[in-house]
């Protein structure tokens, strides 16, 4: 294998970080994710042709190896075939990121959200939120418009991530208002993490020292207003929590966040990191690995395919994020005074000119062109300060 390509180094890293995989499984997973990152494509043919050229092998041989990797055991040729159990990779993936986490504040933000692929798939994903990007660490792929509740899937995903983060780390889990549920709030707390869940304006709350129920819409009646306090939220099925409310300039609706933090120890602004989930889905599709072009129809195969996608994103975001953390010439503040971006409302002004995913891809390509070692980065989160602008970049 060509050492200059860096593929052998990546195979060694994947084998080390996911030790439960067999050597052949880890090797092909590394090949898949390496090819995706280099080609900015998750397509079987594109990745196979690239790897065949790189390794000096026949295209059909590489293509078959990649295809066999994501198939069920019963669909593979030969005897004693095994299939990848994706769920066993979730905790190691999160632990991998935590091990590469460079922060004195020991804070970790997770986002949960769903994305669709036409009328074929719905992907439920939990991701680490980092510097305007998100790295998937747990997911479930179901058929689009499939009947049934998502609750069992979400609970299983969280169970798979149990004990994968050191107890001294402060972990928040953000979710949009469409996903709020009392069982979700309880599950996050069961893990020792902190729910940070947005809710709709409908409904009522009761401040802890009051007997009167107040409409949630009264908390922040005008743009620029904020409110926080310990409350009982929802008159039916009430939950004791902290309510954080903020109506930011540039947003049509206010943010109403439920959390278990004491009122003065959290900021509604932290919820802005949840928008980075949309950046993750963009990186998997048209803005990055072009998963939207897949011809897969089997959810189980798609889940395994997503494992390679997650590793490609982890690699590029770690490289790009480390460069972004030390780069001094890519911020919004460096734009000229008359730049069109400065006419945007504050909430929509970008914090960086180039996403960490895209910067990571550029760093990798330049390193290879210059004959340098393939870069592998670390994760450098931004501080959770109330003045941070969390708009996606």
- The pLDDT of residue 161: 97
Average pLDDT over residues 129-150: 93
Instruction: Tell me how far apart the alpha carbons of residues 151 and 90 are, in angstroms, rounded to a whole number.
Output: 18
Number of domains in the chain: 2
* Range 190-203 average pLDDT: 96
- Residues spanned by the domain of 79: 3-86+279-321
**Both 22 and 161 in a single domain?**
no
Whether 350 shows a pLDDT value over 60: the answer reads no
Q: How far apart are the first and last CA of the chain?
A: 37
Q: Residues 338-363: what's their mean pLDDT?
A: 73
What is the chain's mean pLDDT, rounded?
90
Q: State the Cα–Cα distance between residues 60 and 75, nearest whole angstrom.
A: 18
- For residues 244 and 299, state if they share a domain: no
Dump pLDDT digits (tens) for 54-65: 999 999 999 999
* 296/266 same-domain check: no
Q: What is the mean pLDDT of the segment spanning 248-274?
A: 92
pLDDT tens digits, 72-125: 887 766 666 789 999 999 999 999 999 999 877 799 999 999 999 999 999 999
pLDDT of amino acid 391: 43
pLDDT in tens, 25-52: 999 999 999 999 999 999 999 999 999 9
Three-state DSSP class for 116? strand
Residues 252 and 306 in one domain: no
Asked if residue 383 belongs to a domain, the reply is no
Residue 221 and residue 150 share a domain: yes
Question: pLDDT tens-digit profile of 282-325?
Answer: 999 999 999 999 999 999 999 999 999 999 999 999 999 999 99
The mean pLDDT value for 379-391 works out to 68
pLDDT of residue 243: 97
Give the pLDDT band (50/70/90) at residue 336: low
Residue 82 sits in the same domain as residue 93: no
Please say whether the dihedral angle defined by the alpha carbons of residues 380, 381, 387 and 393, taken in this order, is positive or negative: positive
Q: C-alpha angle with apex 101: 98 to 106, nearest 5 degrees?
A: 85
Residues 150 and 263 in one domain: yes
Angle in degrees, CA 137, 29, 321, rounded to 5: 50
Distance CA 294, CA 305 (A): 10
Has residue 326 got a pLDDT over 60? yes
The radius of gyration computed from the CA coordinates of the chain, to the nearest angstrom, equals 22
Are 110 and 125 contacting, i.e. CB atoms less than 8 angstroms apart? Answer: no
Which band of pLDDT confidence, cut at 50, 70 and 90, is reported for residue 393? very low
Pick from 7-16, 95-104, 225-234, 338-347: least confident: 338-347
Asked whether residue 136 is assigned to any structural domain, the reply reads: yes
Q: Which residue has the higher pLDDT, 207 or 74?
A: 207
Which pLDDT score is estimated for 387?
41
Q: Both 192 and 133 in a single domain?
A: yes
Please indicate, yes or no, whether residues 99 and 211 belong to a single structural domain of this protein. Answer: yes
**Other CB atoms closer than 10 Å to residue 356's CB: what's the count?**
30
Q: What is the pLDDT of residue 4?
A: 53
């Amino acid at each position: 294998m060509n050492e200059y390509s860096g593929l052998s180094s990546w195979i060694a890293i994947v084998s080390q970080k996911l030790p439960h995989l067999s050597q052949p499984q880890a090797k092909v997973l590394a090949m898949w994710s390496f090819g995706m990152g280099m080609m900015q494509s998750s397509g079987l043919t594109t990745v196979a042709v690239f790897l065949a050229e790189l390794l000096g092998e026949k295209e059909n041989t590489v293509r078959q190896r990649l295809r066999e990797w994501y198939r069920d055991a019963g669909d593979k040729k030969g005897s004693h075939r095994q299939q990848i159990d994706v769920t066993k990779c979730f905790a190691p993936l999160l632990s991998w990121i935590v091990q590469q986490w460079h922060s004195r504040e020991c804070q970790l933000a997770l986002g949960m959200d769903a994305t669709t692929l036409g009328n074929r798939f719905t992907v439920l994903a939990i991701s680490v939120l980092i510097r305007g990007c998100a790295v998937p660490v747990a997911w479930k792929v179901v058929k689009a418009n499939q009947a049934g509740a998502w609750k069992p899937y979400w609970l299983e995903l969280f169970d798979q991530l149990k004990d994968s983060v050191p107890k001294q780390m402060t972990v928040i889990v953000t979710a949009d208002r469409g996903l709020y549920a009392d069982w979700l709030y309880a599950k996050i707390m069961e893990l020792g993490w902190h729910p940070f869940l947005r809710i709709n304006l409908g409904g009522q709350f009761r401040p802890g020292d009051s007997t009167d129920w107040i409409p949630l819409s009264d908390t922040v009646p005008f743009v620029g207003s904020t409110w926080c306090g310990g409350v009982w939220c929802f008159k039916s099925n009430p939950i004791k929590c902290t309510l954080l409310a903020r109506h930011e300039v540039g947003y049509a609706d206010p943010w109403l966040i439920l959390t278990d933090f004491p009122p003065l120890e959290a900021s509604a602004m932290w919820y802005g990191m949840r928008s980075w989930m949309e950046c993750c889905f963009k990186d998997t599709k048209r803005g990055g690995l072009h998963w939207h072009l897949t011809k897969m129809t089997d959810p189980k195969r798609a889940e395994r395919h997503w494992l390679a996608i997650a590793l490609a994103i982890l690699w590029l975001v770690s490289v790009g994020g480390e460069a972004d953390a030390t780069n001094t010439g890519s911020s919004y503040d460096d734009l000229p005074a008359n730049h069109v971006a400065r006419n945007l409302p504050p909430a929509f002004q970008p914090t960086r000119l180039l996403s960490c995913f895209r910067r990571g891809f550029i760093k990798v390509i330049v390193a290879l062109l210059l004959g340098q070692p393939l870069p592998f980065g670390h994760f450098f989160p931004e501080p959770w300060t109330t003045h941070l602008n969390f708009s996606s970049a």
